C-alpha cells in the first residue's frame, strides 16, 4: 500500500464511510435521548436547544462560523494575499463582547417577555414592530443569497478538488444531506454534530499545518516556517503578504485594504456578526425553563470565552496552510502544482496527509460543512417561525410549530439552489461576500448599539436607521455590480456626479455609512416621540439583576478573557 499517495485510496474511502455512519449514529442517539427526556416535541428545544454545557456552546459557536468558505476561500486568500484577511478571523476578542456585554441585555429581555427571543424580537420590543420585521426580512434575504448559496457553492468546489466529485454532485449533495439533517435534528442535532466535528477539524487542520511546514522545510517545521515567510516577503512585487497592514499606496493590496482603516472595517463587520446576528447569538440563548439568571449568563459567557479561544485557530488551520501551499507551488517541492488558489487547502490534504489520515480528516471537514450549513438553515427556520408564523397563528401545538420550522427549512434550501447559478456567474465571490457584509453591518451595529446603550434614541429613529441604512447599502451594491466595485470607467453626467458614492473604497464607505446612520438616528430622535417606559425598562438593569450579573462571573472568567485578548494582540504584533 502506498501510504504517501496523493489520491484518495480504498482505505481513505472506507474510513470516511464508516466514520460518517458513526457520526450519524451518535447524532441520532443524542436526538432520541433528548426527545425522550422531553416526552414530545418542543419548538424552543428544536430551534434553540436546552441549556447546553458551556464547552458545547463554545464549540457550536465555532462550528457555526466555520464553513466551506473557510476551507476554500480563506485558504485560497492565504495563498494569494497572505495574512491581509486575518483581520476578519483574528476576532476571538470580539466574541467576548457578546458574552460580557450583550448576553445580560438579551437575558433581561428574555425575563421580561417570558420566552426565548430572536434578534428581531429585541428590535420589536426596543423600537417598533416594523423595525423587527425588517430585520427578519434582511436576515432571511442575506442568508438565502449569501450564506446558504455560497456555502453550497464553495462546498462543491472543495469536494471537486479533494474527492474528485462533480461540482454539482458535491454542492447539491451537501444541501440535500444538510436539509434532511436540519429538518430532523434541529438545534440539538447541530449542537451534537458541532461537538463531534470540532476536535476532528482542529486536529486535522493542524496536521496539515505542521506536515506542510515539515515538507516545505525538508523535515524541519521551523525551517518550513522560515521558508514560508521568506516566500511571502517576496510576493506582490516585493511588498510582501506577510503583514496585516498595507500602508504604502504602491502596494498592490493598498487599493482593497488601505492602511489601518481595514481594522475598523473588520471590527464593524465582526461586531454585527458576533454580537447581533441570529446565526451566532442563537447558540447562547438556549436555557432550561425557570433557570436562574446567573447560571444562564455564566454558561453563555463561558461559552463565548471558549469560542474566543477557538476563533484564534482558523488563521493557523486554513489561512497559513494556504500560504504554505503558495510556497510549495512556487518552489515546486514534491511536484506540488496549484493552478487555482481556491484549490489550496484541498491540495494540501491530498498531497501532505498520509493515506488513512486523509479519510479521518475529511470526516471532520464534511461534518463542518454540514454543521455550518445546518446552523444557517436552523436560524432561518427560527426567524420564520418565531417572527412571522407564531404571531399570525397563535395557540397551535408545539408539533405544529416544529413542522412549520421544517417546511421553512425546505423552502430556504430550494431558494438557495435557485440562486446558485447566479453565484456561479460571479468570478469574485469572496470579495462579493465581503462587500455584502460591509453594506449590511453598519445599520445593524448602529441600531443595536444605540438601542442598548442609549435611552434617548426613539423607536422611529431605530426604524429609520435600519431601513435607511439597508436602502443605502443596496444602492451601493447595485453600483458595485454595474461598475465592477468601482473598477470600471463610467462616463456620463450621472456617474461623474456620483463618483464619490460608487468609487469610494468599500471599507472607507462602510465606516462613513456607520457614521451617517448614527447621526441620522440622533437627528430623528430629536423630532420623534421618546421611547415608552417599558422600552426604557427593557435596557435598564434592576439591582437584583445587577447582582445576578456580578455573581455570574469569577476569576477564571477574567483570566480566560485576558488570555484570549493577549493571544489576539500577540498575533497582531507578530504580523503587523
Question: pLDDT tier at 153 (50, 70, 90 boundaries)?
Answer: confident
Which of these three, 391, 407, 422, is where a domain ends? 422
* Residue 5 domain flag: no
pLDDT, tens only, 210-219: 999 999 998 8
Compute the distance between CA of residue 380 and CA of residue 277 in angstroms, rounded to an integer.
Answer: 12
Instruction: Specify whether 410 is located in the same domain as 461.
Output: no
- For the ranges 34-43, 61-70, 169-178, the maximum mean pLDDT occurs at 169-178
Residue scoring higher pLDDT (468 or 413): 468
In DSSP terms, which residues pair with 246 in a beta bridge?
A: 258
Instruction: Specify whether 283 is located in the same domain as 306.
Output: yes
Residue 282 has pLDDT above 90, yes or no: no
Residue 566 has pLDDT above 70, yes or no: yes
Residue 27 has pLDDT above 60, yes or no: yes
Mean of all residue pLDDT scores within the chain = 82
Please provide residue 258's backbone torsions phi and psi, each rounded to the nearest 5 degrees. Answer: -75, 110
For residue 141, the model assigns a pLDDT of 76
Contact 553, 101 (CB under 8 A): no
pLDDT, tens only, 408-463: 777 877 877 777 776 666 555 666 677 778 888 999 999 999 998 889 999 999 99
For residue 54, the model assigns a pLDDT of 81
Please provide residue 150's backbone torsions phi and psi, each rounded to the nearest 5 degrees. Answer: -70, -40
Question: pLDDT tier at 37 (50, 70, 90 boundaries)?
Answer: low
Please provide residue 246's backbone torsions phi and psi, each rounded to the nearest 5 degrees. Answer: -120, 100
Instruction: Specify whether 326 is located in the same domain as 453.
Output: no
For residue 34, the model assigns a pLDDT of 61
Domain with 236 in it: what CATH number? Answer: 1.20.1730.10
Instruction: Specify whether 109 is located in the same domain as 229.
Output: yes
* Selection from 46, 96, 50, 86 nearest residue 405 by Cα: 46
Element (H, E) at 198: helix 167-216
* 563, 566, 570, 571: CA torsion to nearest 10: 70
For residue 515, the model assigns a pLDDT of 96
Alpha helices in 389-487 (DSSP H): 390-392, 398-424, 429-453, 459-483
Residue 42 has pLDDT above 70, yes or no: no
* Residue 228 domain flag: yes
Residue 49 has pLDDT above 60, yes or no: no
For residue 305, the model assigns a pLDDT of 94
Sign for the CA dihedral angle at 289, 292, 297, 298 comes to negative
For residue 288, the model assigns a pLDDT of 57
Residue 106 has pLDDT above 60, yes or no: yes
pLDDT, tens only, 225-245: 999 999 999 998 888 989 999
Compute the distance between CA of residue 179 and CA of residue 533 in angstroms, rounded to an integer.
Answer: 43
pLDDT, tens only, 361-420: 888 778 777 777 777 777 777 777 777 787 777 877 777 887 887 787 778 778 777 777
For residue 46, the model assigns a pLDDT of 45
Residue 221 has pLDDT above 80, yes or no: yes
Element (H, E) at 105: helix 103-113
**Which range is least confidently modeled, 132-141, 294-303, 562-571?**
132-141
Which of these three, 379, 395, 422, is where a domain ends? 422
Instruction: Specify whether 167 is located in the same domain as 286.
Output: yes
* Residue 564 domain flag: no
Residue scoring higher pLDDT (565 or 372): 565
**Which range is least confidently modeled, 131-140, 180-189, 261-270?**
180-189
**Which range is least confidently modeled, 149-163, 244-258, 422-436?**
422-436
Residue 81 has pLDDT above 90, yes or no: no
Give the chain's domain count: 2
Residue scoring higher pLDDT (364 or 134): 134
Residues 6+ apart with CB under 8 A from 500: none
Per-residue pLDDT, averaged over 529-538, amounts to: 88
In DSSP terms, which residues pair with 258 in a beta bridge?
A: 246
Q: Which domain holds residue 523?
A: 426-540
* Residue 566 domain flag: no
Instruction: Specify whether 279 is located in the same domain as 382.
Output: yes
Instruction: Specify whether 381 is located in the same domain as 489.
Output: no
Instruction: Specify whether 431 is located in the same domain as 310.
Output: no
* Residue 195 domain flag: yes
HSE, side-chain direction, 13 A CA sphere, residue 84:
27
Instruction: Specify whether 438 is located in the same domain as 349.
Output: no
* Residue 41 domain flag: no
HSE, side-chain direction, 13 A CA sphere, residue 193:
30
Residues 6+ apart with CB under 8 A from 200: 360, 361, 363, 364, 367
Per-residue pLDDT, averaged over 84-100, amounts to: 90
* Residue 43 domain flag: no
Exposed e or buried b per residue across 425-461, where buried means at least 16 C-beta atoms within 10 angstroms of its C-beta: eeeebbbbbbbbbbbbbbbbbbbbbbbbeeeebbbbb
Cell 476551507 appears where? 71
Element (H, E) at 299: helix 293-311
Instruction: Specify whether 361 is located in the same domain as 269.
Output: yes
* Residue 567 domain flag: no
For the chain, the distance separating the N- and C-terminal CA atoms, rounded to the nearest angstrom, is 45
Per-residue pLDDT, averaged over 322-339, amounts to: 85
What cell was used for 22? 458513526
For residue 569, the model assigns a pLDDT of 95
Instruction: Specify whether 432 is located in the same domain as 447.
Output: yes
What cell was used for 203? 486536529
What cell was used for 161? 478538488
Question: pLDDT tier at 163 (50, 70, 90 boundaries)?
Answer: confident
Question: pLDDT tier at 523 (50, 70, 90 boundaries)?
Answer: very high
Residue scoring higher pLDDT (288 or 383): 383
Instruction: Specify whether 330 is located in the same domain as 268.
Output: yes
For residue 287, the model assigns a pLDDT of 59
Question: pLDDT tier at 47 (50, 70, 90 boundaries)?
Answer: very low
Which of these three, 382, 399, 422, is where a domain ends? 422
What is the secondary structure of 376-406 as a DSSP string? HHHHHHHHHIIIIIHHHSTT--HHHHHHHHH
Question: pLDDT tier at 222 (50, 70, 90 boundaries)?
Answer: very high
What cell was used for 170? 458535491
Amino acid at each position: 500500500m502506498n501510504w504517501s499517495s496523493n489520491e484518495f485510496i480504498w482505505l481513505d474511502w472506507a474510513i470516511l464511510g464508516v466514520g460518517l455512519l458513526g457520526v450519524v449514529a451518535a447524532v441520532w442517539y443524542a436526538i432520541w435521548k433528548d426527545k425522550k427526556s422531553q416526552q414530545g416535541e418542543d419548538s424552543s428545544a428544536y430551534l434553540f436547544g436546552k441549556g447546553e454545557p458551556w464547552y458545547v456552546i463554545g464549540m457550536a459557536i465555532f462550528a457555526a462560523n466555520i464553513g466551506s468558505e473557510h476551507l476554500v476561500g480563506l485558504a485560497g486568500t492565504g495563498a494569494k494575499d497572505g495574512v491581509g484577511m486575518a483581520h476578519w478571523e483574528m476576532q476571538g476578542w470580539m466574541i467576548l463582547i457578546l458574552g460580557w456585554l450583550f448576553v445580560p441585555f438579551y437575558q433581561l429581555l428574555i425575563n421580561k417577555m417570558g420566552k426565548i427571543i430572536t434578534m428581531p424580537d429585541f428590535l420589536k420590543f426596543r423600537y417598533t414592530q416594523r423595525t423587527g420585521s425588517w430585520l427578519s426580512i434582511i436576515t432571511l434575504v442575506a442568508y438565502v443569497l449569501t450564506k446558504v448559496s455560497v456555502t453550497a457553492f464553495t462546498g462543491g468546489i472543495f469536494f471537486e478538488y479533494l474527492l474528485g466529485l462533480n461540482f454539482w454532485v458535491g454542492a447539491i449533495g451537501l444541501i440535500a444531506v444538510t436539509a434532511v439533517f436540519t429538518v430532523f435534528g434541529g438545534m440539538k442535532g447541530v449542537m451534537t454534530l458541532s461537538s463531534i466535528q470540532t476536535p476532528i477539524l482542529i486536529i486535522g487542520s493542524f496536521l496539515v499545518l505542521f506536515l506542510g511546514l515539515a515538507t516545505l522545510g525538508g523535515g524541519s517545521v521551523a525551517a518550513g516556517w522560515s521558508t514560508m515567510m521568506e516566500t511571502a516577503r517576496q510576493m506582490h512585487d516585493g511588498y510582501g503578504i506577510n503583514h496585516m497592514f498595507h500602508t504604502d499606496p504602491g502596494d498592490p493590496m493598498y487599493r482593497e485594504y488601505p492602511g489601518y482603516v481595514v481594522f475598523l472595517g473588520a471590527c464593524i463587520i465582526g461586531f454585527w456578526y458576533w454580537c447581533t446576528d441570529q446565526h451566532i447569538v442563537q447558540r447562547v440563548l438556549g436555557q432550561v425553563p425557570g433557570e436562574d439568571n446567573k447560571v444562564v449568563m455564566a454558561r453563555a459567557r463561558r461559552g463565548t470565552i471558549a469560542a474566543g479561544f477557538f476563533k484564534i485557530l482558523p488563521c493557523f488551520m486554513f489561512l497559513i496552510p494556504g500560504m504554505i501551499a503558495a510556497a510549495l507551488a512556487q518552489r515546486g517541492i514534491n511536484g506540488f502544482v496549484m493552478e487555482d488558489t481556491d484549490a489550496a487547502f484541498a491540495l494540501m490534504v491530498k498531497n501532505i496527509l498520509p493515506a488513512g489520515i486523509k479519510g479521518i480528516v475529511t470526516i471532520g471537514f464534511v461534518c463542518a460543512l454540514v454543521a455550518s450549513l445546518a446552523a444557517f438553515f436552523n436560524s432561518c427556520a427560527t426567524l420564520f417561525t418565531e417572527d412571522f408564523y407564531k404571531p399570525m397563528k397563535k395557540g397551535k401545538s408545539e408539533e405544529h410549530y416544529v413542522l412549520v420550522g421544517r417546511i421553512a427549512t425546505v423552502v430556504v434550501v430550494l431558494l438557495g439552489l435557485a440562486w446558485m447559478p447566479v453565484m456561479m456567474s460571479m468570478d469574485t465571490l469572496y470579495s462579493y461576500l465581503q462587500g455584502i457584509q460591509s453594506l449590511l453591518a453598519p445599520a445593524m451595529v448602529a441600531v443595536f448599539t444605540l438601542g442598548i446603550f442609549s435611552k434617548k434614541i426613539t423607536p422611529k429613529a431605530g426604524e429609520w436607521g435600519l431601513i435607511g441604512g439597508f436602502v443605502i447599502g443596496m444602492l451601493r451594491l447595485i453600483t458595485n455590480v454595474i461598475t465592477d466595485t468601482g473598477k470600471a470607467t463610467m462616463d456620463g453626467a450621472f456617474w461623474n456626479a456620483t463618483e464619490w458614492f460608487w468609487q469610494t473604497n468599500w471599507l472607507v464607505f462602510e465606516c462613513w455609512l456607520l457614521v451617517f446612520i448614527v447621526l441620522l438616528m440622533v437627528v430623528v430622535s430629536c423630532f420623534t416621540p421618546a421611547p415608552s417606559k417599558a422600552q426604557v425598562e427593557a435596557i435598564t438593569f434592576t439591582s437584583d439583576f445587577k447582582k445576578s450579573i456580578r455573581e455570574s462571573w469569577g476569576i477564571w472568567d477574567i483570566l480566560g478573557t485576558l488570555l484570549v485578548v493577549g493571544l489576539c494582540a500577540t498575533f497582531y504584533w507578530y504580523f503587523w
